[in-house]
Structure 1
């Protein structure tokens, strides 16, 4: 066939460009570094909405991707994740709650060492533990955590909208209200996604293990 050489060329290069777990580790790590560097990181910290709503969220996503890639690269860590799933989940939740405090956002803007601590903790103490613990949790626990995350988005959004004074000294009242509106909108999208998932009859968790149990023989 006339296209056979071209097809062989494409297949050989596709094999060479195959993304491995090590490539994913490097990619997620590069994303975290880019979010911290003064260029992109400094631009995202100009607004309260992009600071908490974009940079903080993307750092958690980078940590989650890093954690999944690490498990794919080193499957021996899977047993550790299963054994310590509750501790890992508590660490992730506590870290996320800490970086939703307005005072810490101020410190991250004013002091470089606090900003570096923010990046490292959100990647390594929030996103990565979440990636390791979440698939190991029972379905009911995952559902409860989904509802709690939704309620937290709306609580924080209402707090930023309703407060008559600035909660962050580094940002104006208009920035604070924009963040509140963004959190309320994110909560609405999250609620619609949860409702859509439930109505489709699928499980709410991000990942559930499949277990094939043989049916008992009838004698």
Structure 2
């Protein structure tokens, strides 16, 4: 194990442990925006770092199962979709078993597979995923703002509105980043890399 992989592994474990600390966990879960837009992505990031700590992604890694990284990305996407449901967030707040499941599933079933599979995914496929993720976040934000009823029973309607605006802000930042990446060489390099494979 190289020093770099040890650092990634330590960062992943450290982030995971930090998020599990009671003051941090309850602080993030006190608001819907903190729960969905901060805690969930940070748990996935901890798993991503753990995945980086497993060493460089090899071309033949799980070649029969995770060809071009698509199955791993799909596993991560379905895991994220499940934990983004308002019902899942409510259950995690009300049932300790669900909270434990969230803290295990997001790093291990979303973060690690994403970290191991994303580098193997063709550049155009990564661009297509970004192009779908950005409007999806915008639609989610708009739905949270416009919904006349509470979607999460554990949070008040004003928390729902705040989350909607946070998601719209994230959508705007991601859109700017993606446009810059596409127009200033990132997309061209990704296509060239795909052709060289």
Structure-1-length-normalised TM-score = 0.80
Gaps in structure 1 of 5+ consecutive residues: 1-17, 214-219
Residue number among 143, 150, 153 corresponding to 2:134 in the alignment: 150
2:165 corresponds to 1:181: yes
Cα distance in structure 2, aligned partners of 1:30 and 1:58? 11
Larger radius of gyration between Structure 1 and Structure 2: 1
Gaps in structure 2 of 5+ consecutive residues: none
Do the aligned residues in 1 keep the contact of 2:59 with 2:120 (CA within 8 Å)? no
Aligned to 2:124: 140
Do the aligned residues in 2 keep the contact of 1:142 with 1:204 (CA within 8 Å)? no
Cα RMSD of the aligned pairs, angstroms, is 2.4
Cα distance in structure 2, aligned partners of 1:93 and 1:212? 27
Q: Which moved more, 1:47-56 or 1:136-145?
A: 136-145
Cα distance in structure 2, aligned partners of 1:63 and 1:167? 28
Question: How big is the shift at 1:79?
Answer: 2.4
2:11 corresponds to 1:30: no
Cα distance in structure 2, aligned partners of 1:136 and 1:35? 29
2:171 corresponds to 1:190: no
Aligned to 1:12: none
Aligned to 2:74: 90
Alignment length, in residue pairs? 192
Say if 1:212 and 1:92 are closer, same or farther in 2 by CA, change over 3 A: closer
Do the aligned residues in 1 keep the contact of 2:44 with 2:107 (CA within 8 Å)? yes
Aligned to 1:125: 109
Aligned to 1:13: none
Question: How big is the shift at 1:205?
Answer: 8.8
Cα distance in structure 2, aligned partners of 1:178 and 1:153? 14
2:29 corresponds to 1:45: yes
Aligned to 2:60: 79
Say if 1:193 and 1:44 are closer, same or farther in 2 by CA, change over 3 A: same
Aligned to 2:144: 160
Do the aligned residues in 1 keep the contact of 2:123 with 2:194 (CA within 8 Å)? no
Residue number among 116, 122, 126 corresponding to 2:100 in the alignment: 116
Question: How big is the shift at 1:24?
Answer: 2.4
Say if 1:65 and 1:171 are closer, same or farther in 2 by CA, change over 3 A: same
* SS of corresponding position for 2:53: helix
Say if 1:49 and 1:144 are closer, same or farther in 2 by CA, change over 3 A: same
Would you tell me which structure has more helix in proportion to its own residues?
Answer: 2
Structure-2-length-normalised TM-score = 0.88
